[in-house]
Structure 1
Amino acid sequence: MHQITGGIAIALVAASLTGCVTKGDSGNKENDLQSFPVLKLEKTDTVLHRHYVADIQAVRNVDVRARINGFLNKIYVDEGQQVKKGQLLFSLNDEERRAELARAKAALSSAIAEAKAASLEVDRVNILVTKKVISASELEVAQAKLAAFNARIEEARSAEFNAATQLSYTSIRAPFDGFIDRIPLKTGSFVSEGNLLTTVSDIHEVYAYFNVSETEYLEFIRSGSDARRSVSLVLADGSDYHHDGHVETVESEFEENTGSIAFRARFPNPQQVLKHGASGKVTLTNRIDSCLLLPQKAVFEMQDKNYVYVLETDNTVKMRAFEPGARISHSYLVNAGLKAGEKIVFEGVRNLREGMKISPKLMATGQVKAL
């Protein structure tokens, strides 16, 4: 009997101790909540840098082609050489063209002489008609012959001009100041009309073409800058080009397949570093006013959506999906889903769960930028 009573007493004491420990733990949970850094979202102004692959082209790049058939008589320039407008580049064999011009000149001289004789005949017949020695119809015949000879003069002049033009085509000259590209033919080659002789590139300035998505195009327009927006260029080896350019024009249509639109920027090229057909990356800078920036550390992904933990007024956290925009350094530009004044958990989001109560540690914007 005493043994049973003792056992019951021990059980009651143990239960009492257990109850005391549980009560003590409950009290400590309120005081020992896990601390998390929290950031208050604020509107800010920022600068957005976007990079685009660029196709670099000379402001003028023209194929030099033969306009007549003939043998390539001489080449006066070399590949890569700088030339001036009007400088002689190639000559074709011109003996046949010179002979044609001489024949055309002779025909013109003959037509002029015949017309002069016809004019004298008209004057003579006119005197005879006035004296009524011959009938008026004779004068009409003489005048018709003179008109025919005058027409022959015009025809001969046209033939002479055409022969002179054909002869000029045997000398091929530079259309503008520039640089010679590859010369595919050699001296003595037969050249057909339309054959490529070389290409001349004017690279004192260059165009950089790059494609921009519709969203980024609208971002560019809404930024409020003028059409001559300054841009920079990174060369193919990763080095910075020493001269800034400017956006000169935007195409009028979006490409149907890609949904992008082409921009054209112009860059000075005083040292001729940039060549036609080169590549690089254009950096386009847009100023964004009154935007929300969200640190990447605060973001986590679930099922292809982006979430953050928003701090409620009772210090519990709630998952919130949002729409991210461009990435700027270590932050996202917020397009939708969050608003200024809301507080989000800045770091340690993997240790949180929906509805969890935390001890928030508010961080200043300057502290976040320093991290």
Structure 2
Amino acid sequence: MKRIVMLAGLCAVLCHSSCTSKKEEKEEAGSFTVTSPMVLDTSITKDYVSQIKSVRNIEIRALEKGFLQNIYVDEGQTVKAGQLLFRIVPKMYEAEMQKSAAEVRASEIELQNTRLLADKNVVSKNELAMANAKLDQAKAELSLAKFHLSATEIRAPFDGTIDRIPKKLGSLIDEGELLTSLSDNGQMFAYFNVSEPEYLDYKTNVSGRGSNKVNLLLANNQLFQSKGDVETIESEFDSETGNIAFRAKFPNPDQLLKNGETGKVRMSVPLKNAMIIPQKATYEIQDKIYAFVIGKDNVVHSREITIGSKIPDLYIVSSGISEHDKILLEGVQKVKDDDKIEYKFVAPKEVISQLQLKAE
């Protein structure tokens, strides 16, 4: 009987020891690295999908009807202002010009004879005035015929690059029919849409937004060699998207950019007193971001935070924590709410210096 009592007592001691060990293990989950948010001035870059347009891009159309007699350029060719591009031959306008020229000569002879008769008082001065008017009318008709004929020679209005030429030699061309397009690619416009909040930040934060210089990310994910300038903003928001269009101009000395190309305008946005934390100090549940904050008695509590922007390895936090909070840096996946931990505090400056950051 005495032996049974001793065994029961031993079991109770062992059970109490085991329970105490588990309790202590729950209270102290282990040793972790802890830091705090850091507040500093930095900058972020934002990419905006853009459409690239030539500074000047026009359609070259026929002014008169006729047969396409000559094509003096090729697709993709660079041309100079005034260079002859096409010639259209309308037989009707050639005949009209010859007829108008003959009428001018006839009117000049008639005026000369009328003047001789008027000098001898054979005809009145009114008849002389009518002869003058008839000559003026003939000259006007000749000028009009010459214009119609000259319009059959299509010339480049400015320096540029020829686009596709859909018509071939000998084609019958109607008045107003498209012959080609001409693009001036010396400088290019990049149009990109900005949301209403971003537009308001841009317009109201004049001193803090930095320069108007922007970069252009091409379709192959390479940066365009030259920077552009934000020149203008359209006057109205798009009622469907809630966006407003910005326009930046880029120099294009090597003619790399073409009309209709796509890319992304990359704008640098400076941030004053931004509160940043390492991304690895957070975790995500159902599209929400959380961090563990160390409370009293070294107990951790999860807290939802709002992310304003992202930069390499870092989050810029809008709300949810303050710069005086201590947050768990390492072992986020190893703890849960109300765990008590031991930790080593590492200064945020030291933590961030080991991450990728472009800060002022």
TM-aligned CA deviation for residue 320 of structure 1: 2.0
Contact kept? 1:45, 1:291, Cα under 8 Å: yes
1:37 to 29, 33, 37: 33
> 1:256/1:6 Cα in 2 relative to 1: closer, same or farther (>3 Å)?
same
Contact kept? 1:223, 1:286, Cα under 8 Å: no
Counterparts of 1:325-340 in structure 2, within 5 Å, are 325-340=308-323
Corresponding residue for residue 245 of structure 1: 228
SS at match of 1:104: helix
- Does 2:45 correspond to 1:49? yes
Letter in 2 for 1:200: L
Corresponding residue for residue 158 of structure 2: 176
Deviation per residue, 1:227-279 (Å, 9 max, x gap): 96222223323333222222222222222222222222222111212222222
- Does 2:289 correspond to 1:306? yes
1:313, 1:69 → 2: CA distance? 89
Counterparts of 1:225-304 in structure 2, within 5 Å, are 229-304=212-287
Root-mean-square deviation (CA, aligned residues, Å) is 3.1
Letter in 2 for 1:58: S
Corresponding residue for residue 199 of structure 2: 217
| Structure 2: 5+ residue stretches without partners | 356-360
Corresponding residue for residue 103 of structure 1: 99
TM-aligned CA deviation for residue 323 of structure 1: 1.8
Letter in 2 for 1:290: N
Contact kept? 2:38, 2:277, Cα under 8 Å: no
> 1:228/1:107 Cα in 2 relative to 1: closer, same or farther (>3 Å)?
farther
Contact kept? 1:57, 1:275, Cα under 8 Å: yes
Letter in 1 for 2:164: R
2:183 to 174, 198, 201: 201
- Does 2:170 correspond to 1:188? yes
Letter in 2 for 1:163: A
1:92, 1:270 → 2: CA distance? 34
Corresponding residue for residue 8 of structure 1: 5
> 1:27/1:195 Cα in 2 relative to 1: closer, same or farther (>3 Å)?
closer
Contact kept? 1:46, 1:287, Cα under 8 Å: yes
| Structure 1: 5+ residue stretches without partners | 129-140
Matched-pair identity in %: 40
SS at match of 2:222: coil
> 1:359/1:104 Cα in 2 relative to 1: closer, same or farther (>3 Å)?
same
2:210, 2:173 → 1: CA distance? 46
1:225, 1:155 → 2: CA distance? 68
2:208, 2:110 → 1: CA distance? 73
Please, which moves more after superposition, 341-350 or 225-234? 225-234
SS at match of 1:292: strand
Letter in 1 for 2:140: S
Corresponding residue for residue 370 of structure 1: 354
Matched length: 353
TM-aligned CA deviation for residue 187 of structure 1: 1.5
2:14, 2:209 → 1: CA distance? 78
1:173, 1:198 → 2: CA distance? 12
1:51, 1:147 → 2: CA distance? 73
SS at match of 1:49: strand
SS at match of 1:8: helix
Normalised by the length of structure 2, the TM-score is: 0.84
Contact kept? 1:37, 1:362, Cα under 8 Å: yes
1:7, 1:298 → 2: CA distance? 54
> 1:277/1:20 Cα in 2 relative to 1: closer, same or farther (>3 Å)?
closer
Normalised by the length of structure 1, the TM-score is: 0.82
